[in-house]
Amino acid sequence: MARVAVAVVSWNTRDLLARCLESLHPEHDAAQADVWVVDNASSDGSADLVRERFPWVRLVASDENVGFGRAVNVVAGQTDSEWIGVANADIALRPGALERLLATGDEDAGAGAIAPRLVLPDGTTQHSVFAVPTIPFALLHATGAHRLIPGVADRRAIPGHWDTERARRVPWAIAAFLLLRRTAWDDTGGFDERQWMYAEDLDLGWRLRDAGWATRYEPRAVVDHESSASTHQQFGPDLTPVWQRATYACIARRRGAVYAQAAAAINTFGALARAGVTRGDDRRTYARWARVHARALRPDD
């Protein structure tokens, strides 16, 4: 039996899905990975592509878009491999990436999730690791205190301060591609299907941490990522309000609505304060972030 069951979640990204599966074919041939595609009712022929060009892939053709987490849960429920590989259809593994991730998992028995380096089309490393969005972290970031305490910005994976070259345990990582240990998956119950799209990886990473499992970042394992190929189609070009609302929904489920509202208020006033002391594009950026966070304070959101 292969060590990894890879669950590729697909929605209207036919050409990228083909690239993804081609990158996984060597892992299948080496008996390292069983590859599944859960197609969320694509209208671009993605399911037919899998049937015709990739007969070695196990296809689950859904008649509705069930979202990301639920799609992965379907594969996890039908497999019993040592590891579960969670994948967007817009990724492609570089040679040796899966082997390196598995080796890292073998070396760190306490890591329930292993995250690769994600590389964007322009060749830059994607910021793919983040802090858990607690009130103490919101205060740290909103007040700018992370700039005053040596090393804290890197430890909390704050954009612009996170060292992408250093392997280490991290708070949580996005699930464009993520390797999850089956025992850790079972301990947490998999993805929370109430997080239909966005923040399902935050939610899982948070629950892994609460259950005593770590997330580990391994930059020597490289995965190419055509970020947001599906979600731009679903939600349009401005995704920030969408994933931020999903993040606050996750916080509310894990810590309660009052906690989420307090975090939103701190983030709103922090962004407003920055907007008040900057000019030009920076001021407009902070003002936009203030509006995004403020939406979470509305009762109907």
**pLDDT higher at 65 or 243:** 65
Q: Give mean pLDDT, residues 24-31.
A: 98
Q: Give mean pLDDT, residues 233-252.
A: 70
pLDDT at 227: 67
Residues with Cβ within 8 Å of residue 135, at least 6 apart in sequence: 259, 262, 263, 266
Alpha-carbon torsion angle 64, 68, 74, 78, nearest 10? 140
pLDDT at 237: 45
Contact 69, 91 (CB under 8 A): no
CA distance 38 to 165: 32
Of the chain, the percentage scoring pLDDT greater than 70 comes to 93
pLDDT at 235: 39
Q: Is 236 left (phi over 0), alpha (psi -120 to 50) or beta?
A: left
pLDDT at 148: 66
**pLDDT higher at 114 or 283:** 114
Q: Give mean pLDDT, residues 273-291.
A: 81
CA distance 21 to 10: 11
Containing 222, the helix (H) or strand (E) segment is strand 214-225
pLDDT at 300: 52
Judge whether residue 238 has pLDDT over 70. Answer: no
Judge whether residue 296 has pLDDT over 80. Answer: no
**pLDDT higher at 294 or 34:** 34
Q: What is the pLDDT of residues 42-89, one digit of tens each?
A: 999 999 999 999 999 999 999 999 999 999 999 999 999 999 999 999
Helix orientation angle between 240-255 and 257-277, rounded to the nearest 10 degrees: 140
Q: Which CATH superfamily is domain 4-133+151-230 in?
A: Spore Coat Polysaccharide Biosynthesis Protein SpsA; Chain A (3.90.550.10)
Q: What is the pLDDT of residues 123-141, one digit of tens each?
A: 999 999 999 988 988 888 7
pLDDT at 104: 98
> Going by DSSP bridges, is the β-strand pair 4-10/83-88 parallel, antiparallel, or unpaired?
parallel
CA distance 106 to 197: 30
The count of other CB atoms within 10 Å of the CB of residue 255 is 16
Judge whether residue 92 has pLDDT over 50. Answer: yes
Of the chain, the percentage scoring pLDDT greater than 90 comes to 64
Contact 175, 182 (CB under 8 A): no
Judge whether residue 244 has pLDDT over 60. Answer: yes
Judge whether residue 167 has pLDDT over 60. Answer: yes
Q: How confident is the model at residue 177 (pLDDT cuts 50, 70, 90)?
A: very high
What are the structural domain ranges in the chain? 4-133+151-230
Q: Average model confidence (pLDDT) for the chain?
A: 89
Q: 18 exposed, middle or buried (CB, 10 Å; 0-12, 13-18, 19+)?
A: middle
Q: How confident is the model at residue 228 (pLDDT cuts 50, 70, 90)?
A: low
